[in-house]
Structure 1
Amino acid sequence: MNCSFSHFLVGFTTESRRLPLGIDIEIKMSKSIKLLSLQYNQINESDTFSSGDIVEGRVVLEVIKEIKVKSFFVKLTGDAHVSWTEGSGDDETSYSDHERYFKLKQYFIQESSKKDGPVISPGCHVFPFRFQLPQQDMPPSFKGLHGWVKYVLTVKLSRPWKSTSAAQTELNFVLRNYGTNDHLLQPQSGTEDKKIKLFGSGKMSLAVKAEKTGYMQGETIRVFVDIDNSSSRNVRLKYSLKQLQTFIAGKSTNRGFKYIVKETRDRIPSGEKSKFIVDIKLPHDLTVTFENCRILKVQYELKVYLDVSFASDPEVKFPVVILPAEQQCPPWQGPPGGFQPYPPPQPNLVPYPGELPPPPAGLYHNLYNPTVLPYPGAAAGVYPNPHAIQPGFLLAPSAPVYDPNQSTKESTPNVPY
C-alpha cells in the first residue's frame, strides 16, 4: 500500500516545506518504516501561534512490514534556555539555566510493560492530534547569542530493541496585542549640552523628542532633533536603534546587543542651528520587547548623538518598547480554559496529491475513534510557568528598566535572531 507522497529526502535528514493546509516535517526511515511525517495546520498567513491557540495536525506513518510498538506519541513543549562560558583553561566557568512553560503529550499507543506490544500492519496510517496552547503569559520564540525560547512539536515512535524514530518542528510563537498602556503613548524628550575644550571652543546643544515609547512591528519611529552648534567644531548627527539581550543564570548575567538601525545624517557646521526629523522604519518581523521570561529578556534602546572628533559625543538615549502588530493576532480559537473536544479525522487530513487509503479494517479501531481517545494532553504532564500572569491579567509590555550609563559586558553586535 503506497502513499501519494513526494519523497524529496535522503537518509535520515529532516526538512520542512509549506503546504496549503499546514506544515509538514518528514523523516525517511529504514527497512521497516518507510516514512514518519509530522504535519500541523497553519492558522494564519504568517504561520504564527499565540496563547490559547489550537495546534492541530496529523502524524502519517508508512510501514513496509509489520512492526511491534513500545510507545507512540506526539508532544508539544515550551522552553527557554541560556548558556555561556567565561574565561579559559582552568579558569573557564560555565553558566546555564532553563525554564519550562508547559509540556503536553498525546499518546497514540500507550507504553506497556508487556513483552508482546501492539502491532502495526504494513500500509499508511494517519494519527490526528490536537492541543491547545496554555492561556498564560509566555515569551515569544527567540534565538539569541546565549539563549533561546522555543516551542517544539515532536513525534516519537519507540520499538522494542530498536532505536527510536522521531521528527520535530518548531512553532513560531508570538505575543498578542492586548492594547497599549497609557505610559507607552507618552512622548519622550531629552537634552544634552557639551563644552568644547580641546581643539576648539564654545559649546553645542542637542535636544531630542520622540512621539511615544511604544511602537508596533512595522511602524515608523519619528524623532525630532534640534541642534545648536555654537562651537568652533563641525559635527555630524548620528542615531541608532539597538536590541539589548540579557541572559541570566542564577546570580550571573551576560548581555549582548544587535543594531537594528545605525545611520549617519547631515553635517552641522560650526556656528549653525539645525532641525531634523528622523524616521526609523521598524521591520515587520522584529522581535517584540519581552520581559516575562526569568532568564532571558529583550529590550530596545534608541540613541541620538553628535559625532565630535577627539571628544566624547553628546547623546540622548530613550527606551523603546516594540509591540506585536495587530494583523498577527487572530481571535482566540474556542472558549477559554481546557482543551476542545477531539475532532474526528477528515478524509483530507494529508494535503498531498491524491488520497490516502482508509486504515485497514481491524487495525486499532480506537486510534481513529474520538470517543475512545483521551482528550489531547490528558496523559501529559503540564508544567505552567510559576511566574506566569494568570488568564484575565495579561498586560502589554512595560517600558524597559535599565540604566544607559551602567557599565556592562556586551558581546559582539552580530547577534543572530
Structure 2
Amino acid sequence: MSRSIKELILHYDPINESNIFTSGDIVEGRVVLEVTKEIKVNTFFVKFTGDANVHWTEKSGDDETTYSDHERYFKLKQYFIQESNKGQSEKNTTLVSGETYGPVIRPGSHVFPFRFQLPQQNMPASFEGQHGSVKYVLMVKLKRSWKPASSTCTEISFLPKNDGTNDHLLQPQSGTKDKKFKLFGSGKMSMAVTADKTGYMQGETIRVSVDIDNSSSRDVKLKYSLMQKQTFIAGRSTKRELKNIVKETKDHIPSGEKTKSVVDINLPRDLTATIENCRIIKLQYELKVYLDVSFASDPEVMFPVVILPPDQQCPPWQGPPGGFQPYPPPQPNLVPYPGGQPPAYSELYPNLNDPSALPYPGAAAGHFYPNPNAMVPVFCPTPSAPVYDPNQSTTKSSPNVTY
C-alpha cells in the first residue's frame, strides 16, 4: 500500500450561520494535499453533484426483488490537473474554468482553491430517508498510474428558495366531523377545526382552533398529530414510510360538555422542507385533529401542511440572480508579499521542480505563476502545486483518504 499521500482534505466555506446553501449560491473552498515524496498525477479534480436516489428490496417467499431509481440535478467539475490528451467535453458534466497545475507534486503540503455556483433551478431540499435520499456532494479525486485512486467527499445542506409567491398557502383551512353512537353509547359529538394557514416555515407555530360539542354519553379526549409522509418511487413501484413529528393529548371533554380549544404546535427548526419537485421522492406532511373514543372509531379532521424553507437573502458578494454561470475560481495568492512587493520566483513557489521554467505558455520572463489573467483551463507541463499556508482560515473537512 502506497503511503506517499499523507493527507487529502476537502474544505468549504459556510456563507451563513446555519451553513445552508440555496439556488445560485457560491460554494467555494480548497483542497489540501500533503505528500511525503514526489508523485506524478494523471488526474486531480473536485466534483460537485446534486442527486436523488431511491433503493429498496422486497421479498415474496423465496423471491427477492430490488427497486431503484436515480435523478440528477447537476454535475460540475473543476480540474486541478488534467491529462493532456483528455478532451474538454464530458457527458452530462459542466466543466468549470479555473487554474490548472503541472502533473508533478513535490513533497510537502499544497492547497488548491475551487469555486462553484449552484444552478438557478428548482431543486429539492437535502433529505435522508430509509429508502432514499437527496444529496449535494463535494468530492475530490486524485488518480495516478498503477495506484488506487485517492478520494474524499463532504455533503452540503441545501434548501430551495422561498420566493413568497404562494399566497394560497396563507389561507386558513377548515373542516368538520360528526359522530353518532349506536353501540357502546348514545347521542352524538361534533368537532369543527380551523388551522390558521397551510404553509409554515421551519420553526413556526401551527395554531389550530377546535370547537367540540360532546352531546353524547361518552367521555372523549382531544388529540392531535403531525405526520411526515415519505414516498419513494421506482418505476411503477412505490414504498411509503410514516414518521410522527408531533403527537399529543390536549383536553378531556366529559359527556354533555362543549369546549373551545386553541392548539399550538411548534415546528422543529430542522424539519425537512416539503419535497414535491422530485420525480422519485415525495415528502409531505399531514395534520390530524381527532377525538379519542374508547372502543369506537375516532372522528378526525385532516389537513395538508406544507413546510417551507425560511426566507433567504442572497449575500451581496454572490452577485445578481440570473441563469447559471460557471464562475472561475479565485486565483491563488497563498504567500503574502512583504511590503507589497512580490518575492523572488524561487521564494514564492519553492516546491517547483524547475524554478527557471516559464510558469505558463506564452509567459514573459519575470512574470509569476499563476497567470492573473487566466480564465480558461490550460494544461501546463510545468509542476506548479501551490504551497499550503497554515494560517489560511478553513472550515469543514472530511479527512478520509483511500490510498
Q: Normalising by structure 2, report the TM-score.
A: 0.79
- Label 1:330 to 1:139 Cα distance change in 2 as closer, same or farther (>3 A): farther
Which residue pairs with 1:165 in the alignment?
Answer: 150
Contact 1:200 1:233 in 2 (8 A): yes
Contact 1:52 1:332 in 2 (8 A): no
Aligned length: 339
CA drift of 1:119 comes to: 1.6
Which residue pairs with 2:135 in the alignment?
Answer: 150
Choose from 135, 138, 159 the match for 1:174: 159
CA drift of 1:373 comes to: 5.7
CA drift of 1:88 comes to: 4.0
For the pair 1:35 / 2:7, whether they are aligned, the reply is: yes
CA drift of 1:30 comes to: 5.3
For the pair 1:249 / 2:234, whether they are aligned, the reply is: yes
In 1, Cα distance between the equivalents of 2:377 and 2:230?
39
Q: For residues 253-301 of structure 1, give each alpha carbon's deviation from its aligned partner in whole angstroms, at most 9, with x where no partner exists.
A: 1111111100011110001011100000111111111200000011110
In 1, Cα distance between the equivalents of 2:170 and 2:141?
48
CA drift of 1:340 comes to: 2.8
Which residue pairs with 1:209 in the alignment?
Answer: 194
CA drift of 1:112 comes to: 4.4
Choose from 359, 373, 376 the match for 1:374: 376
- Label 1:375 to 1:228 Cα distance change in 2 as closer, same or farther (>3 A): farther
For the pair 1:63 / 2:11, whether they are aligned, the reply is: no
Which residue pairs with 2:17 in the alignment?
Answer: 45
Amino acid in structure 2 at the alignment position of 1:82: V
More RCO (CA 8 Å, sep 6+)? 2
In 2, Cα distance between the equivalents of 1:373 and 1:158?
24
In 2, Cα distance between the equivalents of 1:284 and 1:344?
38
Choose from 230, 233, 252 the match for 2:215: 230
For the pair 1:77 / 2:46, whether they are aligned, the reply is: no
Q: 1:14-33 alignment to 2 at 5 Å? A: 31-33=3-5
CA drift of 1:33 comes to: 1.2
Contact 1:46 1:328 in 2 (8 A): no
Greater radius of gyration (CA)? 2
- Label 1:160 to 1:373 Cα distance change in 2 as closer, same or farther (>3 A): farther
Query: RMSD in angstroms over aligned alpha carbons?
Result: 2.4
For the pair 1:221 / 2:221, whether they are aligned, the reply is: no
In 2, Cα distance between the equivalents of 1:263 and 1:375?
59
Choose from 40, 56, 62 the match for 1:90: 62
In 2, Cα distance between the equivalents of 1:99 and 1:125?
35
Amino acid in structure 1 at the alignment position of 2:49: T
Q: For residues 317-341 of structure 1, give each alpha carbon's deviation from its aligned partner in whole angstroms, at most 9, with x where no partner exists.
A: 0001111112586568123231234
Which residue pairs with 1:412 in the alignment?
Answer: none
Q: For residues 99-130 of structure 1, give each alpha carbon's deviation from its aligned partner in whole angstroms, at most 9, with x where no partner exists.
A: 0111101111102469xx93211122111111
Contact 1:342 1:375 in 2 (8 A): no
In 2, Cα distance between the equivalents of 1:41 and 1:151?
15
For the pair 1:345 / 2:332, whether they are aligned, the reply is: yes
Choose from 170, 175, 184 the match for 1:190: 175
CA drift of 1:70 comes to: 1.2
- Structure 2 counterpart SS, 1:260: strand
Contact 1:32 1:63 in 2 (8 A): yes
In 2, Cα distance between the equivalents of 1:331 and 1:50?
14
- Label 1:218 to 1:327 Cα distance change in 2 as closer, same or farther (>3 A): farther
In 2, Cα distance between the equivalents of 1:348 and 1:255?
55
- Label 1:193 to 1:201 Cα distance change in 2 as closer, same or farther (>3 A): same
Q: For residues 354-396 of structure 1, give each alpha carbon's deviation from its aligned partner in whole angstroms, at most 9, with x where no partner exists.
A: xxx95435459458445446369xxxxxxxxxxxxxxxxxxxx
Choose from 346, 355, 360 the match for 2:350: 360
Which residue pairs with 2:309 in the alignment?
Answer: 324
Query: Which sections of structure 2, spanning at least 5 residues, go unmatched?
Result: 87-101, 337-346, 361-368, 379-403
In 2, Cα distance between the equivalents of 1:168 and 1:233?
60
In 2, Cα distance between the equivalents of 1:161 and 1:272?
81
CA drift of 1:92 comes to: 2.0
- Label 1:330 to 1:251 Cα distance change in 2 as closer, same or farther (>3 A): farther
In 1, Cα distance between the equivalents of 2:349 and 2:227?
55
Aligned residues: percent identity? 72
Contact 1:177 1:329 in 2 (8 A): no
Higher mean alpha-carbon deviation, 264-273 vs 338-347, is at: 338-347
Q: For residues 176-232 of structure 1, give each alpha carbon's deviation from its aligned partner in whole angstroms, at most 9, with x where no partner exists.
A: 110141211111000000011111111000110011111111110000000000000
CA drift of 1:91 comes to: 2.7
Query: Which sections of structure 1, spanning at least 5 residues, go unmatched?
Result: 1-28, 350-356, 377-417
In 2, Cα distance between the equivalents of 1:256 and 1:368?
53
